[in-house]
Amino acid sequence: MQPNHSLRDRAAMNNANAFKIGLFGANCSSGRAVTLVTERWSASWTDNLDLAKLSDDAGIDFLLPIARWRGYGGHTDYQGSTLETVTWAAGLLAATKRITVFGTVHAPLFHPIIAAKEFVTVDHIGQGRFGVNLVVGWNEDEFDMFGVKQREHEDRYAYGQEWIDAIKMMWSDRADFDFDGKFIKLRSARSEPKPFGGSRPMLMNAGSSPVGRAFALRNCDAFFTNAPRDSLDVLTEHVKAVKSEARQYDRDIDVYTVGVVTCRPTSAQAEAYYRHCIIDNADWSAVDAILAKKKITPEAVGADEFERQRKHQANGMGGLPIVGDPDLVAQQLANLSTAGLRGVGLSFINYKDELPFFCAEVLPRLQRMGLRTAERSSLSR
């Protein structure tokens, strides 16, 4: 018989770590570093499998992939080779014991009946460790590839609402129900089995517009936000504002951000490597292609702002740079926790090469600060 796990167990990613640490973007070539350096991330299956096992053993809490259907171009065709995220999660969950693995799914591209069943299948493979990052669409040319027209911005989230409502009905005890939405129409729909353990997969979203954020706060367990970099006070206020907006919907939401880590024995070494990868050897042709996709050009925003955005993009497409020796990196992560964040999705230039040092040096520091424990999942097999 399946044990009955509460959603809270899943939302806490099944362990006692006060501050969660995950890896972001490892299913994509180059990960989140727009760089030419030859050690940049391959995103091959074997590298992903090794990384997941390493992360599982070291106590990393989650793996969050990016749903990307075509690369950004440039010399490296940044994120041009990507593993599809739900099948990626299925393979990784079968090969690990405690880590939470997300799939990232474009709601308009996956029929809700297929999506609901895929998610349940993967959730059973992981015995309750699967999560869904629900995205409604970003890059126009990805949708063109499918022959699917992106809806107007507000309608994307209206569609997303119907999509997740329909999926939650299929996960519930309802059987043979009709769903009569504006966009989605289902007749006598049913789906068996239900998600693992009498609960459902954790849901997250990272909308940044007011309508996107409201969608996340109404529907999801975790909200990912690009952290303002101005100061700890500004970040703290930002997190507070998100949480208080969630309370308007009667929701208590966990807020996360994403960061890009360069950690070396000395801060001078870390800064030198960061400069080497992200400035001296950035793939500037890919950076410009990313910006062009967002219609950010010198003509549109002015030369100074364009230059600022270029530097920002090369580094993990805007993720928070966390550069330093283990003490400094641990302190910067602790600051995120102090600001009220529940956790962070991190990227490295080469995840597999750099993770062991990070786990050996930074995680014990966070344990000593009381932010993490060595405790393992209550759901481990």
Binding window for ligand FMN (CB under 6 A); candidates: 122-130, 167-175, 207-215, 328-336: 207-215
Least distance in Å: CB of 135 to ligand FMN? Answer: 4
Q: Is 27 in the site for ligand FMN (CB under 6 A)?
A: no
Least distance in Å: CB of 156 to ligand FMN? Answer: 7
Q: Which residue is nearest to ligand FMN (CB)?
A: 212
Tokens of 123: 């959730």
Q: Which of residues 216-235 bind ligand FMN (CB under 6 A)?
A: 224, 226
CA dist 272 and 284 (Å) reads 19
- Of the pair 326, 343, the CB lying nearest ligand FMN is at 343
- Of the pair 2, 208, the CB lying nearest ligand FMN is at 208
Choosing from 66, 278, 291, 320, the residue that interacts with ligand FMN (CB under 6 A) is: 66
CA dist 307 and 143 (Å) reads 29
Q: Is 207 in the site for ligand FMN (CB under 6 A)?
A: yes
- Of the pair 228, 364, the CB lying nearest ligand FMN is at 228
Tokens of 291: 């910006």
Tokens of 47: 């590298």
Q: How many residues appear in the chain?
A: 381
Q: Which of residues 253-292 bind ligand FMN (CB under 6 A)?
A: 258
- Of the pair 11, 220, the CB lying nearest ligand FMN is at 220
- Of the pair 224, 348, the CB lying nearest ligand FMN is at 224
Least distance in Å: CB of 197 to ligand FMN? Answer: 26
If we measure between CA atoms, which residue out of 316, 244, 379, 355 comes closest to residue 21? 355
Choosing from 197, 212, 259, 343, the residue that interacts with ligand FMN (CB under 6 A) is: 212
Q: Which residues contact 92 (CB under 8 A, 6 or more apart)?
A: 48, 49, 52, 63, 99, 101
Binding window for ligand FMN (CB under 6 A); candidates: 39-47, 52-60, 201-209, 295-303: 201-209
- Of the pair 171, 215, the CB lying nearest ligand FMN is at 215
Handedness of CA 229, 39, 89, 374 (dihedral sign): negative
Binding window for ligand FMN (CB under 6 A); candidates: 165-173, 203-211, 284-292, 296-304: 203-211
Q: Is 72 in the site for ligand FMN (CB under 6 A)?
A: no
Choosing from 13, 167, 206, 379, the residue that interacts with ligand FMN (CB under 6 A) is: 206
Handedness of CA 352, 355, 356, 357 (dihedral sign): positive
Choosing from 208, 231, 248, 373, the residue that interacts with ligand FMN (CB under 6 A) is: 208
> How far apart are the two ends of the chain, measured CA to CA in Å?
14
Q: Is 135 in the site for ligand FMN (CB under 6 A)?
A: yes
Q: Is 67 in the site for ligand FMN (CB under 6 A)?
A: yes
- Of the pair 209, 378, the CB lying nearest ligand FMN is at 209
Q: Is 209 in the site for ligand FMN (CB under 6 A)?
A: yes
Q: Is 41 in the site for ligand FMN (CB under 6 A)?
A: no
- Of the pair 258, 282, the CB lying nearest ligand FMN is at 258
Binding window for ligand FMN (CB under 6 A); candidates: 124-132, 202-210, 236-244, 334-342: 202-210
CA dist 85 and 381 (Å) reads 23
42 burial via Cβ count (<10 Å: 0-12, 13-18, 19+): middle
Q: Which residues bind ligand FMN (CB under 6 A)?
A: 66-67, 104, 135, 138, 206-209, 212, 224, 226, 258
